[in-house]
A and B are shown apart, each in its own frame.
Chain A
């Protein structure tokens, strides 16, 4: 579980996060949504410690992140997996070497144990047989899946995903969403996904936090979104005529 209290982040005079409080529970897919520039990526980077917040606190299972020593932060980070928007695979390494990298760095396992784990993770993301390919030789969807395999290889407690569906076709997006949902449930991970893909929001949003102009504007789950009266959220979610029409239909159905 991750508890965020009054989180603030400014770059010079520009305040990007203006006091966000929320709780991300374990075993759930927690989604952060919002328009471009609403502070989603800054928020997620503050959560993982890539940005130093200017105010507020972040607690990982009741342990304050800001009060941790460098060594404790390092230990915590080994429990964190992160899938980046562009996958962030190491170009000079093959798929197998990318997934193997955290194991080589942090475990004393035998080669066989490590290879078993790598193959298990690659199988989990349906990527058997791509071991010797380089990131430049595989598709965007495959890169995302390698990124997921690398982020779960050390059995993380917390999984962060920054726009996991960006640049992917709808079918591949659904596959990635299903994968993230099943991994979250199977391993009871606290998963936090930063997205503006509405399919993901409606399909896997067990908890949805809507950021707007640096504030937490709304939170709830995917079902509650349809009934929400929040204007900013409605403007964001039902931006197209098609979705507005769909909502009117859903409203009638719900009534």
Chain B
């Protein structure tokens, strides 16, 4: 019952978000601010995690494949597809659910508790449209390129680790080109868009409807991260089933 009530509230929030902006320039400025927070603010953490994920995957597969009858260029092929199809979009989104999700939920929760959201409403501003919509739009714009970058860095990390493990860079690059299907990049981008929407809208939902005090802000932040992450992996499966 509680889940249904939450879903209803979530739907109302999304519905209220769609309205004519009071001042388009102010909304756009907010979108840019959020793009900076989400994209630039997460660049380092997403970059480091992706780079080492690619490197670790390369080391693990190199240990299993090399010395057997598998051609070494397969390492490039495996790293490429695992990064593009799964690791870059899912892992980066889980990182974003933690970093951006908790940040957004606590920001909105604090605004709710300190009556800043009420202040916006009193001014005649649709607070949902002004506070939630720019965050979702910004993440829809900035997360897909962030995930492309993540895939690139993961593959690059894989290349360096593979070279260190004894695979010639030319072999690795040959693997990268081997049976390349651009459709996988499309799947990656679909995942990026869906995950971006889920992470931000769920975080905004928990932050926007906070009631109580500082303790509730912490709880909302935790719920945003936990439920955002669960939704990411759940929809990862759904997309895999639908698009593979």
Query: Is there contact, CB below 8 Å, between B122 and A75?
Result: no
Chain B positions 195-218 with a Cβ under 8 Å from a chain A Cβ: none
Question: Could you say which of B22, B23, B119 has the most chain A C-beta atoms within 10 Å of its C-beta?
Answer: B119
Query: Is there contact, CB below 8 Å, between B118 and A84?
Result: yes
Asked, given contacts A86-B115, A88-B116, A91-B110, whether A105 binds B125 with beta carbons under 8 Å apart, the answer is: yes
Which 9 residue pairs are nearest across A and B when measured between Cβ atoms?
A: A77-B124, A88-B115, A88-B119, A74-B124, A84-B115, A82-B122, A78-B124, A105-B23, A88-B116
Query: Is there contact, CB below 8 Å, between A106 and B124?
Result: yes
Say yes or no for A20: interface residue by CB 8 A criterion.
no
Q: Which residue of A lies closest to B125 (CB)?
A: A105
Size range of the chain B interface in the assembly: 10 to 19
Chain A positions 98-124 with a Cβ under 8 Å from a chain B Cβ: 101-102, 104-106
Complexed CA–CA distance, A11 and B125 (Å) = 25
Say yes or no for A85: interface residue by CB 8 A criterion.
yes
Say yes or no for A48: interface residue by CB 8 A criterion.
yes
- Closest CB of chain A to B173's CB: distance in Å? 46
Say yes or no for B230: interface residue by CB 8 A criterion.
no
Say yes or no for B26: interface residue by CB 8 A criterion.
yes
Say yes or no for A80: interface residue by CB 8 A criterion.
yes
- Closest CB of chain A to B62's CB: distance in Å? 47
For the complex with contacts A49-B121, A102-B123, 6 further pairs of A-B residues with Cβ separation under 8 Å are: A50-B122, A78-B123, A82-B122, A88-B119, A105-B23, A106-B22
Complexed CA–CA distance, A78 and B115 (Å) = 18
Query: Is there contact, CB below 8 Å, between A84 and B119?
Result: yes
Say yes or no for B114: interface residue by CB 8 A criterion.
yes
- Residues of chain B contacted by A160 (CB below 8 angstroms): 122
Out of A78, A88, A102, name the residue touching B118 (CB < 8 Å): A88
- Closest CB of chain B to A254's CB: distance in Å? 41
Asked, given contacts A85-B115, A88-B116, whether A48 binds B23 with beta carbons under 8 Å apart, the answer is: no
- Residues of chain A contacted by B121 (CB below 8 angstroms): 49-50, 77
Say yes or no for A90: interface residue by CB 8 A criterion.
yes
Q: Count of chain A residues with Cβ under 8 Å from any Cβ of B?
A: 25
Complexed CA–CA distance, A105 and B207 (Å) = 24
- Closest CB of chain A to B31's CB: distance in Å? 15
Q: Interface of A with B (CB < 8 Å)?
A: 45, 48-50, 73-78, 80, 82, 84-86, 88-91, 101-102, 104-106, 160
Listed A/B pairs (18) with beta-carbon separation below 8 Å: A49-B121, A50-B118, A73-B124, A75-B124, A78-B124, A80-B122, A82-B119, A84-B119, A86-B114, A88-B114, A88-B116, A88-B118, A88-B119, A89-B116, A105-B22, A105-B23, A105-B125, A106-B124
- Closest CB of chain B to A31's CB: distance in Å? 20
Query: Is there contact, CB below 8 Å, between A77 and B123?
Result: yes
Q: Which residue of B lies closest to A84 (CB)?
A: B115
Query: Is there contact, CB below 8 Å, between B23 and A106?
Result: yes
Complexed CA–CA distance, A78 and B123 (Å) = 6
- Closest CB of chain B to A107's CB: distance in Å? 9
Chain B positions 45-66 with a Cβ under 8 Å from a chain A Cβ: none
Q: Which residue of A lies closest to B118 (CB)?
A: A50
Question: Could you say which of B25, B114, B115, B124 has the most chain A C-beta atoms within 10 Å of its C-beta?
Answer: B124
Q: Quick one: CB contact mask for B93-137 with A, threshold 8 Å, 1 for yes? A: 000000000000000001000111011011111000000000000
- Closest CB of chain B to A145's CB: distance in Å? 15
Question: Could you say which of B26, B115, B121, B123 has the most chain A C-beta atoms within 10 Å of its C-beta?
Answer: B123
Complexed CA–CA distance, A66 and B189 (Å) = 47
Asked, given contacts A105-B26, A106-B22, whether A90 binds B123 with beta carbons under 8 Å apart, the answer is: no
- Residues of chain B contacted by A91 (CB below 8 angstroms): 110, 114, 116
- Closest CB of chain A to B156's CB: distance in Å? 35
- Residues of chain B contacted by A105 (CB below 8 angstroms): 22-23, 26, 123, 125
- Residues of chain A contacted by B22 (CB below 8 angstroms): 105-106
- Residues of chain B contacted by A85 (CB below 8 angstroms): 115
- Residues of chain B contacted by A74 (CB below 8 angstroms): 124
Complexed CA–CA distance, A74 and B126 (Å) = 9
Asked, given contacts A86-B114, A91-B110, whether A104 binds B119 with beta carbons under 8 Å apart, the answer is: no
Q: Which residue of A lies closest to B33 (CB)?
A: A92
Asked, given contacts A86-B115, A88-B114, A91-B110, whether A77 binds B122 with beta carbons under 8 Å apart, the answer is: yes
- Residues of chain B contacted by A106 (CB below 8 angstroms): 22-23, 123-124
- Residues of chain B contacted by A78 (CB below 8 angstroms): 123-124
Query: Is there contact, CB below 8 Å, between B26 and A48?
Result: no
Q: Which residue of A lies closest to B124 (CB)?
A: A77
